[in-house]
């Protein structure tokens, strides 16, 4: 234990989700149980009222781990409880944000942690039929989850009269079929009803009218898994991990040009620099290259050049948590988002990267709202032109204009998600775009390189 | 039909349409890897919904094939994180090795090459989906051995 810079006591590298991930056979019930699994479920179902569980989750400060960061306990407390109408908990396992592969890791290696979290949460919310909506491509994980569900059922932790408490609960796995938009909770609900994944207009919110018009709570895989340690240790203890409103631990999936891509659990007290360069995490930039840029929270959050990534505009070290990554707003900051941490080295082309992301969002737009349907395709075409040496100077301003007209003008946040990467790329890397336009031939032979993107930023002192 | 009934049993009575996505996966697997209009009409009759309700779903989701595909489908991710890890070279290499472009199937009906958007394997890039599983950390050598493996399997099953 040592005193961190925030004054809180912290244990180095505290792990409460992945602490058992490397135990041989942890995927199976017997080993998970032997390692202390399902004790939190026993505590919750036998000793706690449903209100007390919601209260612990509120006290924990747990925020939605899918990207939006909305307080989970508050979301739970919104659920309507009309007499005689079933309620449902739905686990969002549609993980599709480029750069994000943490839920996959949890489900593949610790399926019972998710099942236990689902059981406790289903009990707290009064859901007797709970669904895991998993992206269609994770086909082999469906088998892993269904096996875990069968094991839990065979051991009395699912099915009828669980642990003799009179609580009944079944969990079903619902496989999607390839659509990023189904990670948006109302599109997910439409898809669960066997329809196209077109987001619904809110209100009514799912907590009032969700799947089959019944009150529904949709939570991300990691959020629901985190309920297990919260019940085990208590909400107050959980809230002691981390900094400020960034409580608990967060799974970060790190990828791109780093030495050790993978899924890491962080306690949100470390700096971005430590996360990238320490051997405990990413292990530095691969092949001895220099860091150029990073998209720290999944492809939709603003990309930052190296200098703004490692330090805030005030010149302080940037921390790996909700507040740290968003310090400075969109002008000089980004977001923690889903924890999809994409690192770009000095050889990467920002224009090409932005083009592939624009193509992604065009491909995934559901087509309901004109600004998104038309705007994403338009941005993709312009970016492709610039990338292939066919761009005009006016294209850069046009891109800025289009993304401004998408943002905030659509039913769901996919519009914003498509606009932000383009906006941030132009905001911070405008000279790289201009270089592409002014050097159409050279830009096809080499990349712009690191340029000034890692230079220290002059901080004006008052 | 056992699997069909199991899937439908997951949803409340009268809400059998909810099973549409899982049932379409089952149908695609059972009827040659793609969804013909006959197959979709059959699914509609099984779930007691209108054929249009099946078509509108089948055309929305990228995993449903509306045209015949090869016995082995290489779905290579091309989104940002895979791009910065060199997926373009892998896509080119597969195309040259098999003599097809993305979206095409080899004349012998064995292989289809498709480019897809992010599959959630960004840390293990470049990667592709092949059937139910992912093939990750792709290199040219690895692609060669996967193609050989597919050819051997196909020969062994004939």
- Is the pLDDT at A129 greater than 80, yes or no? yes
**What CATH number should be reported for the domain holding residue B39?**
1.10.10
Nearest residue on chain B to A261, judged by CA atoms? B123
> Do the two domains A12-240 and A242-345 of this chain adopt the same fold?
no
Q: Is A376 on the interface with B (CB under 8 A)?
A: no
Return the percentage of chain B with pLDDT > 70, whole number: 100
Interface check A416 vs B, CB under 8 A:
no
Q: Is the pLDDT of residue A461 over 70?
A: no
If pLDDT is split at 50, 70 and 90, which confidence band does A459 have? low
Residues B80 and B146 in one domain: yes
For residue B76, the model assigns a pLDDT of: 98
Kindly tell me if the per-residue pLDDT of A9 is higher than 70: no
pLDDT in tens, A368-420: 999 999 999 999 999 999 999 999 999 999 999 999 999 999 999 999 999 99
B61 vs A179: CB contact, 8 Å cut-off?
yes
Give which of B123, B124, B133 to mutate to test A binding, by max A Cβ within 10 Å.
B123
Closest CA of chain A from B124, distance in Å: 7
pLDDT of A306 higher than 50:
yes
B25/B46 same-domain check: yes
Query: What percent of chain A clears pLDDT 70, i.e. is strictly above it?
Result: 96
Quick check: A4 pLDDT over 60? no
CATH number of A242-345: 3.10.20.600
Return the number of other C-beta atoms located less than 10 Å from residue A328's C-beta: 15
Question: How many structural domains compose chain B?
Answer: 2
Same domain, B76 and B151: yes
Which residue in the block uniquely carries the two structure tokens 């009268």?
A: B14
- How crowded is residue A280: how many other Cβ atoms within 10 Å of its Cβ? 13
* Per-residue pLDDT tens digits for B142-158: 999 999 999 999 999 87
Q: Which of A129, A263, A364 sits opposite B117 (nearest CB)?
A: A364
- At A457, the pLDDT band (50, 70, 90 cuts) reads confident
The answer to whether residue B66 sits within a structural domain is: no
- Per-residue pLDDT tens over the stretch A317-341: 999 999 999 999 999 999 999 999 9
| B138 and B84 share one domain | yes
Q: Which residues of A touch B132 (CB under 8 A)?
A: 139-140
The whole-number average pLDDT for the span A270-296 is 97
Instruction: Name, in order, each residue with C-beta under 8 angstroms of A248's C-beta and a sequence gap of 6 or more.
Output: A16, A60, A61, A62, A226, A229, A230, A238, A239, A241, A242, A267, A268
Same domain, B42 and B79: no
Is the predicted pLDDT of residue A1 greater than 50, yes or no? no
The reply to whether B56 and B81 lie within a common domain is no
What number does CATH give the domain A12-240? 3.40.50.11540
pLDDT (mean) for A255-283 = 96
The answer to whether residues B78 and B152 belong to one domain is yes
3-state secondary structure of A277: helix
- Rounded to the nearest angstrom, the gap between the alpha carbon of residue A397 and the centroid of all alpha carbons in its chain is 30
A338-378: per-residue pLDDT in tens? 999 999 999 999 999 999 999 999 999 999 999 999 999 99
Do B96 and B128 fall within a single domain?
yes
**B79 and B125 belong to one structural domain:** yes
Q: Mutate one of B81, B130, B137 to test the A interface: name it (highest A CB count within 10 A).
A: B81
The residue among A6 and A92 whose pLDDT is bigger is A92
Q: Which domain holds residue B78?
A: 72-156
Give chain A positions within 8 Å (CB) of B81: 98-99, 255-256, 299, 342
- Considering only alpha carbons, which residue of chain B is nearest residue A367? B60
Point out which residues pair with A250 in neighbouring strands.
A266
CATH assignment of the domain containing B104 = 3.40.30.10
Cβ distance of A174 and B64 shorter than 8 Å:
no
Sheet hosting strand A340-345, strand order edge to edge: A262-266, A250-256, A340-345, A291-295, A304-305
> Do B38 and B94 have their domain in common?
no
Alpha helices in A245-391 (DSSP H): 272-277, 306-310, 322-326, 329-332, 350-364, 370-387
Q: Is residue B78 domain-shared with residue B150, that is, in the same domain?
A: yes
Buried b (16+ CB within 10 A) or exposed e, A190-206: bbbbbbbbbbbeeeebb
**CB of B65 within 8 Å of any CB in chain A?**
no
**Band of pLDDT at residue A429, cut at 50, 70 and 90:** very high
- Taking domain A350-445, whether its CATH number is 2.60.40.290 is answered by no
In B105-124, the residues whose Cβ lies within 8 Å of chain A are 116-124
Residue of A414, A418, A407 lying closest to A183 (CA atoms): A414
In this structure, the answer to whether residues B120 and B76 fall within a common structural domain is yes
Residues β-bridged to residue A93: A134
On whether any CB of chain B is under 8 Å from the CB of A299, the answer is yes
pLDDT of residue A279: 95
What is the ipTM for the molecules in this complex?
0.97
CB contact under 8 A, A177 and B61: yes
Using an 8 Å CB-CB cutoff, list chain B residues near A138: 120
Other CB atoms within a 10 A radius of the CB of residue B12 amount to 13
For residue A134, the number of C-alpha atoms closer than 13 Å in the C-beta half-sphere is 27
State the pLDDT at residue B126. 97
pLDDT in tens, A43-63: 999 999 999 999 999 999 999
Question: What is the residue extent of each domain of chain A?
Answer: 12-240, 242-345, 350-445
- B98: in domain: yes
Kindly determine whether residue B132 and residue A140, on different chains, have CB atoms separated by under 8 Å: yes
Chain A residues 200-229 within an 8 A CB cutoff of chain B:
212
> Min CA distance, B29 vs chain A (Å)?
12
Residues of A in contact with B15 (CB under 8 A): 193, 212
Pairing status of strand A216-220 against strand A262-266: unpaired
Burial per residue of B96-107, b for 16 or more beta-carbon CB atoms within 10 angstroms, e otherwise: eebebebeebee
CA dist., res. A396 & res. A423, Å (int): 10
> Residue A170 pLDDT > 90, yes or no?
yes
Chain segment A196-255, per-residue pLDDT in tens: 999 999 999 999 999 999 999 999 999 999 999 999 999 999 999 999 999 999 999 999
Q: Is residue B65 part of a domain?
A: no
Task: Determine whether the interchain pair A353/B83 forms a contact, defined as Cβ–Cβ distance below 8 Å.
Answer: yes
């Amino acid at each position: 234990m040592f005193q961190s810079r925030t004054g809180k006591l912290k244990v180095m590298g505290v792990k409460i989700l992945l602490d058992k991930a490397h135990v041989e056979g942890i995927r199976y019930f017997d080993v998970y149980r032997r390692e202390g699994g399902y004790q939190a479920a026993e505590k919750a179902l036998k000793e706690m009222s449903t209100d007390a569980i919601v209260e612990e989750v509120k006290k924990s400060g747990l925020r939605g781990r899918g990207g939006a960061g909305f307080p989970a306990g508050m979301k739970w407390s919104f659920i309507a409880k009309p007499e005689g109408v079933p309620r449902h908990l739905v686990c969002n396992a549609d993980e599709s944000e480029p750069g994000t592969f943490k839920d996959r890791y949890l489900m593949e290696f610790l399926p019972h942690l998710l099942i236990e979290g689902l059981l406790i949460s289903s009990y707290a919310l009064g859901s007797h039929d709970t669904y895991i909506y998993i992206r269609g491509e994770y086909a082999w994980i469906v088998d892993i989850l269904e096996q875990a569900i069968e094991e839990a059922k065979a051991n009395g932790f699912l099915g009828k009269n669980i642990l003799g408490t009179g609580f009944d609960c079944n969990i079903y796995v619902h496989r999607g079929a390839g659509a990023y938009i189904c990670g948006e909770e109302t599109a997910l609900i439409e898809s669960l009803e066997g329809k196209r994944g077109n987001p619904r207009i809110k209100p009514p919110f799912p907590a009032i009218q969700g799947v089959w018009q019944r009150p529904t709570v949709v939570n991300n895989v990691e959020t629901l898994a985190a309920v297990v340690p919260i019940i085990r240790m208590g909400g107050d203890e959980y809230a002691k991990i981390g900094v400020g409103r960034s409580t608990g631990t967060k799974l970060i999936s790190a990828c791109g040009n780093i030495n050790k891509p993978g899924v890491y659990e962080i306690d949100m007290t470390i700096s971005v620099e430590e996360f990238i360069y320490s051997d405990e995490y990413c292990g530095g930039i691969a092949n001895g290259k220099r860091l150029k840029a990073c998209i720290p929270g999944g492809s939709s959050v603003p990309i930052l050049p190296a200098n703004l990534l490692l330090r805030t505009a005030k010149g302080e070290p940037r921390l790996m948590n909700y507040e740290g990554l968003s310090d400075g707003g969109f002008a000089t900051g980004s977001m923690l988002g889903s924890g999809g941490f994409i690192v770009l080295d000095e050889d990467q082309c920002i224009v090409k990267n932005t083009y592939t992301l624009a193509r992604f969002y065009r491909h995934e737009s559901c087509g309901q709202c004109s600004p998104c349907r038309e705007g994403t395709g338009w941005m993709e075409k312009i970016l492709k032109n610039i990338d292939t040496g066919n761009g005009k100077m006016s294209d850069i301003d046009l891109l800025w204009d289009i993304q401004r007209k998408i943002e905030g003008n659509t039913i769901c946040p996919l519009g914003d998600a498509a606009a932000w990467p383009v906006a941030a790329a132009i905001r911070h890397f405008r000279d790289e775009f201009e270089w592409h336009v002014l050097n159409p031939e050279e830009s096809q032979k080499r990349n712009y390189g690191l340029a000034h993107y890692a230079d220290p930023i002059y901080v004006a002192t008052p | 039909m056992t699997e069909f009934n199991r899937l439908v049993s997951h949803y409340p009575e009268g809400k059998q349409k909810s099973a549409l996505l899982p049932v379409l996966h089952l149908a695609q697997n059972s009827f040659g890897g793609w969804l013909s209009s006959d197959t979709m009409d059959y699914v509609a009759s099984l779930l007691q919904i209108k054929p249009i309700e099946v078509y509108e779903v089948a055309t929305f989701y990228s995993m449903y094939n509306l045209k015949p595909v090869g016995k082995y489908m290489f779905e290579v991710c091309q989104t940002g994180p895979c791009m910065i890890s060199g997926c373009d070279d892998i896509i080119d290499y597969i195309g040259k090795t098999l003599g097809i472009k993305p979206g095409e199937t080899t004349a012998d009906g064995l292989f289809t090459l498709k480019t897809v958007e992010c599959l959630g394997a960004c840390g293990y890039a470049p990667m592709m989906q092949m059937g139910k599983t992912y093939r990750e950390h792709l290199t040219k050598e690895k692609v060669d051995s996967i193609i050989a493996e597919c050819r051997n399997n196909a020969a062994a099953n004939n």
